[in-house]
Chains A and B, each alone.
Chain A
């Protein structure tokens, strides 16, 4: 009865349903992903062919310069590309969409613990994105200080006077508040709304990833929001928290303080994005190897160790900042010890595949893709952690290649694995597998071409954030690699069209999906696709973990659902 009284607006726009909110996050994230991607292509065009008019869209975007990227526009491109990708594309897809959609379903709840707060989180993100987009249309254009908002470039209006800079900071702050509220919701829901029998030991790994990610968000986001507001005060209220030297009004503040505050959040941010992916990888490897997740406890413990370590390693972003080098040594050593829990992750992923019955579905391909690209991203992290070597490659394309392997490659592949795996549950239709496989292989090839060559450029000393490498003599011998990356990036961008076509086509024309197309054991797959409005009529009773595949004593099929009462006898307790 109540359903008939819900208006369209309450049901699909200002909805408190976690499933609708998840879809809102997903669509917002995908729109921004496309936007950030186009900016990446403009950046690569400029680096490949400096100051040449951009084909097709150049005249529209840069009418003043005959279609070429200008020195003023270039910093805007890389600032907005970074800000959009991290905060408005990947975070909404990984945390917003995956968190919202999977958590209540996987814990057997009817919705999030705080549905209204959940709705509010989305609308904070929406408001943040409106400010971000609006910043393109103010007189002096959008922000150009880099997505890290380094002071005093950001905090002094003498350097960057435009209001676009302020709008970017406000948009980021609003998005941070949105993520913070989401995090509180995730933690509470996972801790308080689990179905009877769903002990912490029986949670899907995806939820563990989302949980730790939410913990990091609630701990560290307030710091970056505070730092961003201090920058705003410096800009508009005449304070000098982060302005010093000749530009400072009086004695001045402390420039390095901003970097400490930013990276105090900024490094955990890497794990905020990667934890949900690691969790998802653990679950999907298990589903598609038809085998329990190997070393579940060690995996969860490793994630806990990294959660703790991630908060005390930020100084490795500051080896050249003028920070005391003795502190640098401590940061270096703490940073490289992250390799220990990470190695355990890889052991457990490979252990899950070992003697499995592997099904190479599209989500599985992307999952294996994450394992491969994260091996590169993680191992190259060790190079950056080495203080003496980092001083050389700091602020070069080696760092850019490295963090694109961890963030752009691993997190993006994780996001695709999530979408391909959960699409049938979310929309009740199957995605096209053939297009999906093509999308994977093209993305895999082009992505590695782009980011591995970036690392070689970095070894040659190629600085990041420069608009034109040909201005330097020592970079002339490697300029042709910028051309190579440009074309590979175009290939990567065009391959994503396959995904968008597949997504839209399957949304309307895909084959209807059964409740459990992947034969997965976790709770979400016991309800119809898409799930009914309140997920579960009665709270489900859980008898075993989410990874009971390949159970030897079963004669029909090879797996047990978490709600299967047989599990009390057959599965490991």
Chain B
């Protein structure tokens, strides 16, 4: 009956997201407790009694003004700037350039109602050629290796959500978006669709299979090779007006990419 806060973290960056949560909880928790304490105390202490009048003030004295200004500055620096600063650094780690982009495994995913079409560049390292490896709903990755995922969508908006890695990114028709991650624990985890995409939204589940070694991953990969995909581009050629996003030379400093 326990209430675990987050699902287990299997990523190199998820802890940053969790830490941000605890920092925000600390700061807002203090603010909340102050409000509730004042509220409770005033309600007990200043209940109406016969013969006593309330203290007549419009709260616009010099003292009240100082208090208001002080509170504004306090909230701005202690909470707002503080949180924004930490978020800025967390963002760089989670969404900035991947540390070992050159070794990264690259995957293209094009969901449709209600499944995840997944594609790896085959042995030639180039997407949309006949040796591509494709799977449905099964994303195999080796543990401890950066993975760069490019997303688009075949029909409506879907959202590629990896709860155990604390990241998600929308798959938007007509656009290519991307994210990267690096796993730390082998096993099978959920891929969820987080954007309402129709009546089958709830069962648009995929599996992230983190192979325990590069060797195990290679084994799986060679097993798949040779079955060329029937449709190389899933009805859309992935060629965008602004597209340095060809496989193998993708810039990942920006995760979102508006054509």
Contact surface of A with B, Cβ cutoff 8 Å: 71-72, 74-75, 144-146, 150, 152-153, 156, 158-160, 243-248, 252-256, 289-298, 320-326, 329, 332-333, 336-337, 339-340, 343-344, 346-348, 350-360, 368, 371-372, 375-376, 379-380, 382-383, 386-389, 391-392, 394-396, 456, 459-461, 463-469, 471-474, 477-478, 480-481, 547, 549-552, 558, 572
Contacts and interface: CB of A to CB of B under 8 A. Distances in A.
Contact of A472 (B159, B175, B192, B235): B192
Contact of A289 (B54, B84, B94): B54
A294 B64 contact: yes
Nearest to A470: B202
B76 interface: yes
A533 to B, nearest CB: 36
B28 A382 contact: yes
Contacts of B4: 460, 477-478
Interface stretch (B34-42, B135-143, B216-224): B34-42
Given A322-B258, A388-B87, A389-B20, A356 B196 contact: no
A552 B56 contact: yes
B201 A466 contact: yes
A79 to B, nearest CB: 9
Interface of B: 1, 3-7, 16-17, 20-21, 24, 27-28, 31-32, 35-36, 38-39, 42-43, 46-49, 52-60, 64-65, 67-68, 71-72, 75-76, 79-80, 83-84, 87-88, 90-91, 94-95, 113, 152-157, 159, 161, 163-164, 166-170, 172-175, 177, 189-190, 192-203, 205, 234-236, 254-258
9 nearest A-B residue pairs (beta carbon): A244-B174, A245-B173, A294-B59, A461-B163, A550-B54, A355-B55, A466-B202, A246-B235, A291-B54
A471 to B, nearest CB: 5
A354 B46 contact: yes
A256 B91 contact: no
A455 B197 CA distance: 22
A290 B52 CA distance: 11
Contacts of A355: 46, 54-55, 57
Nearest to B84: A333
A354 B54 CA distance: 9
Contacts of A572: 58
A360 B47 contact: yes
Contact of B3 (A71, A160, A243, A481): A481
B69 to A, nearest CB: 9
A339 B75 contact: yes
Contacts of A339: 75, 79-80
A521 to B, nearest CB: 13
A321 B158 CA distance: 10
Contact of B174 (A252, A324, A325, A466): A252
Given A247-B173, A472-B192, A549-B54, A344 B71 contact: yes
B156 A389 contact: no
A450 to B, nearest CB: 15
A347 B71 contact: yes
Nearest to B52: A357
A325 B72 contact: no
A39 to B, nearest CB: 16
Contacts of B202: 71, 74, 465-469, 471
Nearest to A252: B174
B48 A357 contact: yes
Contact of B175 (A255, A473, A551): A255
Given A246-B155, A355-B46, A386-B83, A459 B21 contact: yes
A471 B203 contact: yes
B205 A291 contact: no
A375 B80 CA distance: 16
A386 B156 contact: no
A74 B168 contact: no
A503 B154 CA distance: 52
Contacts of A394: 159, 168, 194
B122 to A, nearest CB: 23
Given A295-B59, A339-B80, A391-B17, 19 more contacts: A145-B196, A159-B113, A245-B152, A246-B154, A253-B174, A293-B59, A320-B169, A322-B177, A324-B258, A343-B72, A348-B59, A354-B55, A357-B49, A358-B42, A396-B194, A460-B6, A460-B163, A472-B192, A473-B189
| Residue from A289, A337, A347, A481 having most chain B Cβ neighbours under 10 A | A347
Nearest to B173: A245
B35 A346 contact: yes
Contacts of B236: 245-246
Contacts of B167: 391-392
Contacts of A323: 256, 258
Contact of B199 (A74, A255, A379, A551): A74
Nearest to A245: B173
A153 B256 contact: no
A395 B160 CA distance: 11
Contacts of B173: 152, 243-248, 252, 255
A324 B254 CA distance: 7
Contacts of B91: 325, 329, 387-388
Contact of B36 (A156, A246, A253, A372): A372
A469 B35 CA distance: 35
B32 A379 contact: yes
Given A256-B175, A358-B46, A358-B47, A245 B153 contact: yes
